[in-house]
Structure 1
């Protein structure tokens, strides 16, 4: 069983490779349950090299590594799985390539798209952006309602992403999500160790419906 509770999506911007990898180590040591290597503006060989370095760490800590978009990179480094969006390889084709044993995540922002991905053998659905910057409250509430509808209508795990922070996690307390995905909240933290520990505690409370 995969634990989607605290899902780190990477962003190497502004970091040296050494700094980046040290963040991955700290996150794996202190509570991250899944990592998605999501890097843009990078050549294929660079992506493969970064993925190999990250996988060495995630394997050491028993944390599944997901590759964003690139099925070829996933297969090249034997990552745990791949996450694709609506403009990437079709879900059915991705499943054929990676086989039955790897994790297949799919981004979907409405119920029909989520159901389609489920039928095409996605293992989990990523839903976002839940809280866009400067988004009106009404839009936030609409995004939460859509998230809950997707959770209700599909029998596979749903992960929320987009603008999620330690301070707004409580808004997901009755959503039924399997976990939350975060980028800057962790990557940009001044203390990744303490931030990861606190997020794990907060998510446990949120999922238990007792977040205050």
Structure 2
């Protein structure tokens, strides 16, 4: 079984990868720098990578995340999560459902599910999800099909579904203060971290804010 207290700590500063934002910078160095600086969870999400490249990145990141004792999540690809022995998998509404994921990966692995409504959040919990990724909270360039979640909807999800959750989507150092009132277990960030040239000072800034 997944330890919920341990999971909540791991969700605090949740980095989601996107090579496109790096503009040629070294993928592994940037991710390693972010973990050295205090990122608590890393999700490998490379929408443009083919299976071979995705697996290669997954195997290398598995080594790095173990080195820094950071939880490692794979987006979408259950097969690759199993091959590299990731700590868990994150699925969206159009991906394989959490019930099926659980059958494949067993009880000890983390399952995260994206949710934009109370109905989606309730189903995720029923299906055995360990945490929710709720968003997009603000408009975001990294996921063009993401629909914004209103603060009212977010409140309803929190009140009706008792699961650890992270907020995602367009969150930056200027707008995160609007979200602190909801007491999320963490924030999932893409360009909020990867867009910075100085990763160490950016992560430090996040800790000062949250």
8 Å CA contact retained: 1:23, 1:192: yes
Please give the alpha-carbon distance, in whole angstroms, between the structure 1 residues aligned to 2:107 and 2:82: 13
Could you say which residue in structure 1 is the equivalent of 2:66? 59
8 Å CA contact retained: 1:151, 1:176: no
8 Å CA contact retained: 1:131, 1:163: yes
Q: Does 1:161 align with 2:168?
A: yes
Counterpart selection for 1:8 from 4, 15, 30? 15
TM-score, length-scaled by structure 2: 0.89
The two structures, once aligned, show a CA RMSD in angstroms of 1.9
Counterpart selection for 1:129 from 136, 147, 155? 136
5+ long unaligned stretches in structure 2: 1-5, 142-146
Q: Does 1:111 align with 2:140?
A: no
Q: Is the alpha carbon distance of 1:18 and 1:133 closer, same or farther for their aligned partners in structure 2, counting shifts above 3 Å? A: closer
Q: 1:91 deviation in Å?
A: 1.3
How many positions carry a matched residue from both structures?
Answer: 198
8 Å CA contact retained: 1:48, 1:73: yes
Secondary structure, in 3 states, of the residue corresponding to 1:35? strand
Q: 1:188 deviation in Å?
A: 1.2
Please give the alpha-carbon distance, in whole angstroms, between the structure 2 residues aligned to 1:18 and 1:67: 22
Secondary structure, in 3 states, of the residue corresponding to 2:167? strand
Q: Is the alpha carbon distance of 1:78 and 1:30 closer, same or farther for their aligned partners in structure 2, counting shifts above 3 Å? A: same
- Which consecutive segments of 4 or more residues in structure 1 shift more than 6 A? none
Q: Does 1:39 align with 2:50?
A: no
